[in-house]
Structure 1
């Protein structure tokens, strides 16, 4: 099972969610206004969660009478709506989690959502989490060796150190290869690389990397 979480970020950054609708064994979790986005694309979420403060009273009333399972929280809470949704997704024990509607708009929301990827790694979870919008795919990795397939629609690949340093970074099959390099938090050395083969590999021995696959508009 794969869990899709749809949050209430700017609608123009959402990909066409119906392309994911046909996949088997998908559970949809709506975060706040994400429930409206899903319904607009003809998708009924399995559950909606959050404080729903981004909806008008009329919108929330229509949501309640739709028969959707809703888990409502007070606005004054220790977790963000997205964190509550990720916790709910973990309880379903999925193979992976994809997050939509988590980028654009308020920068503090974006940074909080990126930080949740880091927190998931720190929790020791083995369930991969990916943030997806029209222009980007983002995920974090612990040390190891990984393969990336070429995605023509996402030409650019960036490797951003999230920890104080990332040691032993090696890139093979890329336009700008690296061999056993140490990069530090704040480094822009590995921004906007590209694959030159059908696939490439990246590996590192310590630290945490944020990997972003992107395209221009």
Structure 2
């Protein structure tokens, strides 16, 4: 079964990595929600509306797929052998509708680091298409700055903010509102001195002039 998405602002994609029910509190009533294979199972069990379920459903299984179809949930079954991950397919479907933002839940954790890294890499694909991409769980929130731009980060549940260059270098890095400020600095890929900054004010600002920068807000597990 195929279904047409009606996107007005934000798409939330729930994929098959580690999630808990607290993660789903980020889903708003006006979001369009896409469940990816095992992520669709978690949404179903949590009683969260699913607007589209995609994947090869090797994790969810045939019985669950049948249950979705019987309940009228639009589904798109993908072949097991394909040229992209189920999560990338979900992102591509979301991008067809030019959403302002794509929030991905369940993209971190689990036993497969390759899948985690592939999911994080999708943030650049989202940015290239003009949308804001966020990957989030209770311990981490990841966003990407690409090219000249800025990001305002209010102080909230995350205690630390780390800057990880994705491109060979990121220039013109200026930080305000942090414990460790910077002005017109250059961060190079492989350097770790952008790790574990902390908020000094109620909001912090990151500005870059060029490059691709992964911004990771995080907290220790003991703080949860």
For normalisation by structure 2, the TM-score amounts to 0.89
Q: What CA distance in whole angstroms lies between the structure 1 residues aligned with 2:38 and 2:29?
A: 25
Q: Which moved more, 1:61-70 or 1:134-143?
A: 61-70
Q: Does 1:129 align with 2:133?
A: yes
1:107-133, CA deviations, whole angstroms, 9 ceiling, x for partnerless residues?
A: 010000011112233xx3221010011
Give the RMSD, CA atoms, in angstroms: 1.5
Q: Which residue of 2 aligns with 1:76?
A: 81
The worse-fitting range, judged by mean Cα deviation, of 175-184 and 54-63 is 54-63
Match of 1:29 among 30, 34, 53: 34
Q: 88, 92, 95: which one pairs with 2:97?
A: 92
Q: Cα 1:175–1:41, aligned 2, differ >3 Å: closer, same or farther?
A: same
Name the structure 1 match of 2:152: 147
- Alignment partners' CA distance in 2, 1:89 and 1:128: 12
Task: Confirm or deny: 8 A CA contact 2:41 2:60 kept in the other structure.
Answer: no
Q: Which runs of 5+ in 2 are unaligned?
A: 1-8
Runs of 4+ in 1 over 3 A off after TM superposition: none
Maintained 8 Å contact 2:101/2:131: yes
SS in 1 for 2:186: strand
How many angstroms apart in 2 are the aligned matches of 1:98 and 1:204? 23
1:15 aligns with: 22
Structure-1-length-normalised TM-score:
0.91
Aligned to 1:208: 212
- Aligned residue for 1:195? 199
* Contact preservation (8 Å) 2:145, 2:151: no
CA distance in 1, matches of 2:177, 2:19: 35
Shift of 1:92: 2.4
Give the CA deviation at 1:180: 1.5
State the secondary structure of the residue aligned to 1:15: helix
Q: 2:113 aligns with which of 107, 115, 127?
A: 107
